[in-house]
Amino acid sequence: MTKRLHITILIGLFAVLSSSLGAQQRSEKVLKPGQSTQSQRPTVTGGQDDVSQMEFDEQLADEVDTFGVFLYYSENPNRETPFADSLLSGYFHQYDPARQRDFDYMHLGIVGSAARPILFEASQRRGFDIGLNQYDLYFTKASQTPYYRLEKPYTNVHYTQGGEQADGIFKAKFSRNFANGINYALVYDRHSYIGSSNQYPNQNHRMTTFINNMSYESKSGKYRAYLSVAANTAEAEDNGGVFQEPEKEGQFRGPASAVTLLESGQTRHQHQEFSYTHYLQFGGGADSIRGPLRSYTLSHQLLYNTNKYKFFEEAATADTLFFSQFPVFRVDDRGSRFYLEHQKLENVFNLSTFRLGSADQDNEVKQEKDLLQIGLVHSLHWLDFEPIKSTVNNLFLTGKLTFNPSERLFISTNAHFGLLDNRGDYKLNGELFFDLKQAGSLKVQASSQLYSPTLLQEQYRLSQIQLWEKSFRSTLETNLTASYYLPALDITLSGGYHLVNNFIYFDETGVSQQTGVPISISQLMVQKNFRLGQVHLDNVVTFQQSSETFVRVPTLYTKHSLYYAGTWFRVLSVRWGADMRFNTEWDGYYYNPFTGQFQLSDQKVEAYPNIDAFFSMRIGNFRAFFKYENLSVLLLDRQLYYQAAYAPHPFNGFRFGVNWRFIN
């Protein structure tokens, strides 16, 4: 049978199963933003959740079991999220950060490789930006690290075994209280993919995150301080992509037999961050009739970070395959080196007033009923971009207004306006969440922003040679997204419209370009879950359309999970089944390791139904999963799975992982 017929049969199996299962209403409560469960989560592109992705898996549940642990962030310690444990979430067996979300990221085939969203997302920009964000998916900044309010020490440990003994993921989180109002938290995350037989030549990766947090609250509650020291490091071998696919049969079958564009390319990103945030509160207290009184807060944040970016390739001979494809980067036959060092010192000053809800401080979540905040952000940047050193000065006026009178209504607006070197940059953003009870819930987000080009878009140097220096106009971006969840049908309908003027991209040669043609991107997302007894079929279907080829997205991208979920022997929660993701053929991106950018490519990404089988279990505080990835390769004449040009995913393989939580 042909590949096209194989693909049609695989998709048809999931479609038939979908139509045969009846929809069943779920008796779950619709929660406020930041407290949503998996089936209720109204996800739309273009926004950021209050809960970090690192905590996402732990809070998604079919049945929630809270146990006195609350999360919050230093940017707003009055808005908490309860830590929720679940029977088994749909994301537990998805060990790859690119798949621990409703809408996946694409990467180069192995965990830790350069990644970008498959769906178009609104830019999150304020001020100067280097423009090297290919590893942001795996990094955790100080502002994204949660602090904990708890009574007993909390520990969470996770390990996933990769395709070889040298490959694996280890995660650990710990928090406990100390005397005098001090809480300490630690986060450690290590992704190691350094094997030799399951990766393509020169494709090893190692990602490390190590964060120490400490919070302090005075006895009166009037002074609070938050200290965070964070380190994120990415070490990657870059082969530039696979020029000739590996042998699929015979003695030399396996990824190691592939021919790659580069033989010795290597990238290293190192980020070290120090953050100290403190608050001095006035007023507040409680009135027996009116409840909590209005509070006033002065806050200051001191942030200092150092960032080092390095890429080098030893060989630059005329027969190197990469330079035959991209000759602009062949500048020195002795090898190539890109090096950039960036330091930032930032001070943030805010004056705010808020009123808390009347929650029990020990047993319920602390939430603000309203917040009005004005602020000033000054950032000083030092750059060492071989061989030139320079500085950049940013000053932004900021403002924020939130209104949260009840669990049914939440309104949030924020804005910033740039002065000095980024003068004229601005952002206006608004969010509305409305709980309609039995009629569902509605979430709407809108934003308008003007932001300057990144450093690498305007200038690039390799081996101290200037390859380009340009002066681009600022990009104007307008975004509107909406999401509606209907509990009666357990369905979420989402839509998005993005309009971008003066869009900057990297063309097929790897050089940055700007188009003056306005680009519009339309999106429609449907999340529908079916259930028949203990058999479930969860579906995410997304449609996208871009008016210009400078922004490339698959027209159709879908995710489906067919599984059984139940309890065995009264104590063992299990979930087993299969996941499938599918995209239609589309003009893809190529990841260029010299620039660290996803650029336009003339190679198409083929349609491919990627299927994984899994079994996950939980007993008490212990979880485990077993997973066989990419079953499709056995049915499609060993066709390889691509998400980016020249970057096939490895062959099929077995994975397993364990997770253990302790409260003591």
The per-residue pLDDT for range 80-93, each reduced to its tens digit, is: 787 765 556 778 89
pLDDT of residue 173: 92
Domain boundaries in the chain? 3-663
Return all residues near 229 (Cβ < 8 A) that are at least 6 apart: 142, 211, 212, 273, 274, 275
- Identify each DSSP E strand in 124-222 by its residue range: 147-149, 154-161, 167-178, 182-193, 205-217
State yes or no: pLDDT of 664 exceeds 80: no
State yes or no: pLDDT of 17 exceeds 70: no
Higher pLDDT, 613 or 661: 613
Least Cα distance to 126 among 328, 429, 389 occurs for 429
pLDDT of residue 464: 93
Q: Tell me: the pLDDT tens digits for 417-427?
A: 999 899 999 99
pLDDT of residue 143: 81
Q: Report the C-alpha gap between 476 and 479 in whole angstroms.
A: 10
pLDDT of residue 640: 87
For a pLDDT cut of 90, what percent of the chain falls above it?
Answer: 57
CB of 163 closer than 8 Å to CB of 653: yes
Q: Would you tell me which CATH number, out of the four given (1.50.10.20, 2.40.170.20, 3.40.50.970, 1.10.3720.10), belongs to the domain 3-663?
A: 2.40.170.20
Q: How far is CA 190 from CA 237, 562, 657, in A?
A: 16, 30, 14
Q: Tell me: the pLDDT tens digits for 619-662?
A: 888 999 999 998 887 777 778 899 999 999 887 889 999 999 88
Mean of pLDDT over the chain:
85
State yes or no: pLDDT of 268 exceeds 60: yes
CB of 238 closer than 8 Å to CB of 202: yes
b/e for 386-400, b at 16 or more Cβ within 10 A?
A: eeeeeebebbbebeb
Q: What is the pTM of this model?
A: 0.86
pLDDT of residue 23: 38
State yes or no: pLDDT of 77 exceeds 70: yes
- Tell me the three state secondary structure of residue 453: coil
- Where is average pLDDT lowest: 169-183, 312-326, 568-582? 312-326
Q: Report the C-alpha gap between 20 and 530 in whole angstroms.
A: 9
Confidence of residue 44 (pLDDT cuts 50, 70, 90): very low
Q: Tell me: the pLDDT tens digits for 113-132?
A: 999 999 999 998 999 999 99
Q: Tell me: the pLDDT tens digits for 168-191?
A: 999 999 999 888 889 999 999 999
Higher pLDDT, 106 or 78: 106
Confidence of residue 288 (pLDDT cuts 50, 70, 90): low
- Where is average pLDDT lowest: 367-371, 394-398, 512-516, 547-551? 367-371
Give me the residues paired with residue 429 across strands.
414, 447
- Tell me the three state secondary structure of residue 585: coil
CB of 451 closer than 8 Å to CB of 416: no
Confidence of residue 62 (pLDDT cuts 50, 70, 90): very low
